[in-house]
Structure 1
Amino acid sequence: MIAIIIAGAAALLLSILGTPLFIKLLVKKGYGQFIRDDGPTSHATKRGTPTMGGVAIILSTLLAYGLTHLVLWTSPSVSVLLVLFLMVGLGVVGFLDDYLKISQQRSLGLRPRAKLIGQFLVATVFAVLALLFPDSDGNTPASTKISVVRDVEWLDLSFLADLLHSAAGMNLAVIGSALGFVLFALWANFLVAAWSNGVNLTDGLDGLASGATIIFTTAYLIISFWQWRQVCSVDLDAGGVVHCYTSRDPLDTAVLCAAIIGACVGFLWWNTSPAKIFMGDTGSLALGGAIAGLTIVSRTEVLGAIIGGLFVIISLSVIIQVTSFKLTGKRVFRMAPLQHHFELKGWNEVTIVVRFWIVAGILAGVGLGIFYLDALPRLSS
């Protein structure tokens, strides 16, 4: 618990004090946001606002997490180091994208193919390493099983290994195991792309993405802390089924969540309307990567889509808009992503942000409720 408090407090101080210094540096270098001409006209006033603020979030998170382990003289966990690798790796991709936008003074940075390749490489390395490094109980940071509240035993992406082993022996089983790695890597790539692009699409109004990320990571701090506090139990009435969480490093995951929360809160102080700085793709891709990593190492991949439902809804609004226009030539929304639809309807920016935060909080509460309901039978036994 002390580690969680230290990480959150350190990240908050680093972010809230360091972000204005970073703003001064960006202003001095003239690294301002380029605004799309086809966006809402109210955004024209934001042209030139310093961007790439995600650097402050990433550095605050890294320093706070490292400082926590240094103060308590503990070793960082493999699970969290992998999530940080995902966060920093995608942050680098976003930084390159932001830098090209600024240097070329246009709203397009990296070409879509280059961005996808960068995301794919980082996600694939993460996926491969996450299936290694078992602890004393044999738990690795990730699992080939698709998870909801915990791993679902019959949704195992490495089923080919068992199938080929029973059919043809060890030689083909090795091939099947390798295919299991490949299938998990594809699943991890989907999650990373979905979450990073979801946060990126949400980052369209002052404070919206950072506030929604705070809500998401707060929910995951609770989940990770709960997983750490619970011990395994055997349900004899259910034929000896073991009820426990198989996440490898839940307490350290909670520490990381606290660091991300503190960093985002400190950044939100400067990012709230009217924003003094934008997180840019540097921040949105990095936070999306962190979110994807948290769902994977906590074994709650599907549940994460409920807890982070706001990101999902906003992403779906873009998919619906593009699909409808291509098939019928008509638009469902006045503009996508969804927050801009309400802007064009005349809603005030702050009103949209606060109401979207409320939606994010409700969905996070629903997700936590589902997580808790799964634990009720075990608690009552």
Structure 2
Amino acid sequence: MRAVIVAAAVAFVISLFGTPMAIRGFTALKAGQPVRSIGLASNQRKKGTPTMGGVVFIVATVFAYVAGRIALTLPERRIAQEGPTMTALVLLGLFVFCGAVGFFDDFLKVRRRNSDGLSAKGKLFGQAIVGGGFGIAALYVPSTNGQTVASEHISLIRDISWLDVGKVGSVIVFVFVITAMSNGVNLTDGLDGLATGASILVLGAYALIGFWQYRHWCADTDYARVNDYCYQIRDPLEIAIIAAAAAGACAGFLWWNTSPARIFMGDVGALGLGALIGGLAVATRTTLLSIMIGGLFVIITVTWVIQIVSFRTTGRRVFRMVPLHHHFELAGWSEVTIVVRFWIVAGVCVAAGLFLFYSDFLAAAG
């Protein structure tokens, strides 16, 4: 628990005090947020606000993970001799490299002075390459006990035994989960603090899940010897440290990102966060449960798909505008009202997901 708390605290401090430096730096570089001229009138005031703030909480998370690793060995007064685990490399790699795809998109927008950055196909291609590379590492690089980061089975709260898709199929599922969640967070990032606050809730849930799995881990022989119910995953404490660090980093960033935002996370932050959340879902064997835990991202993505399909097939719009938060803006809701109410929806989804997770434990352990 000490390492998890240290990681969250270090990430929060770095992000809280590092974000103002990023604001000054990106402002000096004239890295302002481009806004479509045909967009909502209320968004025009955001034109020129520095973007690419996601760089701050990505960097904060990486440094906080190192601090968490050091905290694990403080009683022995030495830094751990083992390097980062494969779980950490996969999760942080997804965070950094999908963030890099978003950074390139943001860079093009800033350089061209318009909202047309990397094409949709280009972003999907970049996400697929990153997801595929780390998916292979997650499936084909076992630990000393033979456990891999990802599984060959589709999972709900643990692996579903009869849903064996094989290694190739699992890599495909891995890429889909990373891409879907990454784009879900990106679609949600449209109002001040909306995606940041929702991500804190989801990441906090995965920190709890990771730590709970660590306390009931099959690799813990003392626990497994006296308990039939344990979790067959790899490096659950590493999962908890990284999720807590990312949540803490986002909390520090939210101080500056809440309305009126002084900086935006940009695609570098949104794509990175979504990829990390997808990776956490796969690593904790809660792939299908992530649909509930990340319910707000799913709702916004599904309504966006409904709008696109409806307009292209019938020429009619189901919603006034998508993503969904803009529908409510056009309905007259204030930005702060939308953000707070969407946070409540995200919180309810997270609570429901954690309830299902814990209920499964009680049912099996009882």
> If the TM-score is normalised by the length of the shorter chain, which range does it land in?
over 0.9
Q: Does 1:269 align with 2:255?
A: yes
Residue of structure 2 aligned with 1:288, choices 252, 255, 274? 274
Distance in structure 2 (CA, Å) of the matches to 1:334 and 1:34 = 22
Distance in structure 1 (CA, Å) of the matches to 2:131 and 2:228 = 31
Q: Does 1:256 align with 2:242?
A: yes
1:280-314, Cα deviation, whole Å (9 max, x unpaired): 00000000110010001111000011000000000
Deviation at 1:232, TM superposition (A): 4.7
Q: Does 1:45 align with 2:45?
A: yes
Deviation at 1:231, TM superposition (A): 4.6
Contact persistence 2:294–2:346 (CA under 8 A): yes
Hey, what does 2:346 align to over in structure 1? 360
Structure 2: which 5+ runs fail to align? 74-78, 220-226
Contact persistence 2:101–2:126 (CA under 8 A): yes
Q: Does 1:312 align with 2:320?
A: no
Hey, what does 2:356 align to over in structure 1? 370
Letter in 2 for 1:288: G
Hey, what does 2:154 align to over in structure 1? 146
Q: Does 1:349 align with 2:335?
A: yes
Hey, what does 1:9 align to over in structure 2? 9
Q: Does 1:329 align with 2:337?
A: no
Hey, what does 2:29 align to over in structure 1? 29
Question: C-alpha root-mean-square deviation of aligned residues, in Å?
Answer: 1.4
Deviation at 1:327, TM superposition (A): 1.4
Contact persistence 1:334–1:344 (CA under 8 A): yes
Contact persistence 1:195–1:291 (CA under 8 A): yes
Deviation at 1:367, TM superposition (A): 0.5
Would you say how many aligned residue pairs link Structure 1 and Structure 2?
351
Deviation at 1:193, TM superposition (A): 1.1
Distance in structure 2 (CA, Å) of the matches to 1:215 and 1:339 = 18
Distance in structure 2 (CA, Å) of the matches to 1:77 and 1:298 = 15
1:235-274, Cα deviation, whole Å (9 max, x unpaired): xxxxxx9632111011111010110011000000000000
Contact persistence 1:94–1:282 (CA under 8 A): yes
1:159-215, Cα deviation, whole Å (9 max, x unpaired): xxxxxxxxxxxxxxxxxxxxxx32222111111110000000000000000000000
Hey, what does 2:195 align to over in structure 1? 209
Contact persistence 2:217–2:232 (CA under 8 A): no
Summarize the Cα distance change of 1:200–1:231 in structure 2 as closer, same or farther, 3 Å threshold: closer
Distance in structure 2 (CA, Å) of the matches to 1:322 and 1:351 = 26
Contact persistence 2:218–2:232 (CA under 8 A): no
Hey, what does 1:18 align to over in structure 2? 18
Deviation at 1:113, TM superposition (A): 2.2
Deviation at 1:222, TM superposition (A): 1.0
Contact persistence 2:257–2:263 (CA under 8 A): yes
Larger radius of gyration: 1
Distance in structure 2 (CA, Å) of the matches to 1:117 and 1:308 = 23
Deviation at 1:120, TM superposition (A): 1.1
Hey, what does 1:190 align to over in structure 2? 176
3-state SS of 2:254 partner = helix
Contact persistence 2:200–2:251 (CA under 8 A): yes
Distance in structure 2 (CA, Å) of the matches to 1:371 and 1:203 = 27
Hey, what does 2:105 align to over in structure 1? 97
3-state SS of 1:243 partner = coil
3-state SS of 1:146 partner = strand
Residue of structure 1 aligned with 2:139, choices 131, 137, 141? 131
Contact persistence 1:91–1:282 (CA under 8 A): yes
Letter in 2 for 1:104: R
1:1-58, Cα deviation, whole Å (9 max, x unpaired): 1100110000000000000001100111110000112221100000000000010010
Deviation at 1:137, TM superposition (A): 3.4
Hey, what does 1:156 align to over in structure 2? 164
1:128-161, Cα deviation, whole Å (9 max, x unpaired): 0001332343211111100000000110112xxx
Contact persistence 1:232–1:242 (CA under 8 A): no
Q: Does 1:63 align with 2:71?
A: no
Distance in structure 2 (CA, Å) of the matches to 1:306 and 1:317 = 16
Deviation at 1:106, TM superposition (A): 1.2
Contact persistence 2:11–2:249 (CA under 8 A): yes
Structure 1: which 5+ runs fail to align? 159-180, 234-240
**TM-score using structure 1 length:** 0.90
Contact persistence 1:308–1:363 (CA under 8 A): yes
Contact persistence 1:123–1:189 (CA under 8 A): yes
Distance in structure 2 (CA, Å) of the matches to 1:349 and 1:111 = 28
3-state SS of 2:199 partner = helix
Distance in structure 1 (CA, Å) of the matches to 2:363 and 2:302 = 34
